[in-house]
Amino acid sequence: MKLHLITVGEPKLAYARAGWQEYTARLGRYHKLRITHLPGSNPQKEGEAMLRAAARAPLVALDPRGVQWESPELSAYIDLQGVRSVGELAFGIGGPDGHSDQLRAQASTLWSLGKLTLPHDLAMVVLAEALYRAATISAGEPYHR
């Protein structure tokens, strides 16, 4: 399955750039990966750009209002999309002000990384690592233990 990671901005801090690069490289061994970094402006414009970038792919928007998955549940969700012949699945991280109401309404799913507020850079690393962990679960590999 193709995974499209869409973010507003790129990781700015050194630790986040390193983590993002590490986990997207690992994830690329399991899924065809596409990454789109959008310029920041305001939630409305960012949301419109994110929806255009996702195109026909179902968009999983990271949002505090979303469902919280355990790693095996995320793995099962991604696997189910593959079984349903979804060719590409998009994951979107908004800017510092979050997603617009329009984007949340049009997203296929809202996913919350938890109740903590994470810095933008760290959320990007957590997304990449969570997707990599889910991929190893699907592959039956021991990383997730």
Q: What is the pLDDT of residue 117?
A: 86
What's the confidence (pLDDT) of residue 145? Answer: 64
Q: What are phi and psi of 74, to 5 degrees?
A: -65, -45
In whole angstroms, how large is the CA radius of gyration of the chain? 14
In this structure, are strands 2-8 and 32-38 parallel, antiparallel, or unpaired? parallel
Q: Delineate the domains of the chain, giving CATH numbers in brackets.
A: 2-144 (3.40.1280.10)
3-class state of residue 43 by DSSP: helix
Ranges under pLDDT 70 in the chain: 144-145
Between CA 124 and CA 98 the distance in angstroms is 13
Mean pLDDT of the chain: 95
